[in-house]
Structure 1
Amino acid sequence: MRSFLPAVAEQLFKDIQKIYEEKSQIPDDLLIALKFVFGSCALQALDLVDKHSVTCLSSPSGRKVYQVTGGSGRLYTCFTSCHYCPCPAFAYAVLRRNDGLLCKHLLGVYLSQAMGLTQQESVSDKHITTVMAGGSAAS
């Protein structure tokens, strides 16, 4: 699944997935755990999920990337396979300062997956190559 995250984060996502499938909501104890493990970006990530801001692009070759529309409307292409987001918060807080595990965009991806709320979009191999290379292309 997500081999770059600590076991506590992995277990938290599994617990959220199981309970969300049963009750269609995240109980308070898991919300508190999210806040404890991920800090202030947890609420921001949940807001992204609520706004259906996470889309999984998949191509016929099986490649997948996630695009997250941030609060400002900017589109971020996130890679769960290597645990990366190009946003400034990820570069500063996660990579440079080692202050957190994830930015709100990556956390939004993982939460939307766990909750089954990721938007799905099939695109051509050419389109996904362009997106992965950092460009934009029409579907």
Structure 2
Amino acid sequence: MAVTLPAVVEELLSDMAAAVRETARIPDEHLLSLKFIFGSSAIQALDLVDRRSITLVSSPSGRRVYQVLGSSGKTYTCLASCHYCSCPAFAFSVLRKSDSLLCKHLLAIYLSQVMGTCQQLSVSDKQLTDILLTEEEQERKGTD
């Protein structure tokens, strides 16, 4: 079962993608809607997109993860298929407090898809496994 975003967010992203295809830009009213839904995270996510900080890492087996170079210089691993990010803001604001739909890193992934600015990196299955294992080890060190 696929995890989906709330319908209003799905529709906004779809409308933004259509606008980018037609005019190569996102209309101001869509940006205002984005800010209304996501608050300051929208601006931070757009900054990450402008800095081309999002990379889709894929392997021959079809596995896909995103890596987002955060504003702090740390790289976060994200799974867009289930709306997961390894950042502390996701754990706190999205999972624990439930006061946000997404962290800025996940939002940046969706916006980079809309705008066609996502970097692409193909790696072997072993390299992708190593990326995920390294991320898990870093998370465990942070919680020990």
Measured against the shorter chain, the TM-score band is: over 0.9
Query: Which amino acid is the alignment partner of residue 35 of structure 1?
Result: K
Q: Which residue number in structure 1 is paired with residue 66 of structure 2?
A: 66
Query: Which amino acid is the alignment partner of residue 58 of structure 1?
Result: S
Tell me the secondary structure at the aligned position of residue 81 of structure 1.
helix
Tell me the secondary structure at the aligned position of residue 133 of structure 1.
helix
Q: Which residue number in structure 1 is paired with residue 27 of structure 2?
A: 27
TM-score where L is the length of structure 1: 0.92
**Structure 1 residue runs without a partner (length 5+):** none
Task: Spell out, residue by residue over 1:114-134, the C-alpha distance to the aligned partner (whole angstroms, 9 max, x if none).
Answer: 111100011010011122234
Tell me the secondary structure at the aligned position of residue 131 of structure 1.
helix
- Of Structure 1 and Structure 2, the greater helix share is in 2
Q: CA deviation at 1:3?
A: 3.3
- Determine the C-alpha separation between the residues in 2 that align with 1:10 and 1:114: 11
Q: Which residue number in structure 2 is paired with residue 17 of structure 1?
A: 17
**Structure 2 residue runs without a partner (length 5+):** 137-144
Q: How does 1:70-89 map to 2 (within 5 A)?
A: 70-89=70-89
Cα RMSD, aligned residues only = 1.4
TM-score where L is the length of structure 2: 0.89
> 4+ residue stretches of structure 1 with deviation over 3 A?
none
Task: Spell out, residue by residue over 1:81-109, the C-alpha distance to the aligned partner (whole angstroms, 9 max, x if none).
Answer: 22110111111111111111000000000
Q: How does 1:1-139 map to 2 (within 5 A)?
A: 3-135=3-135
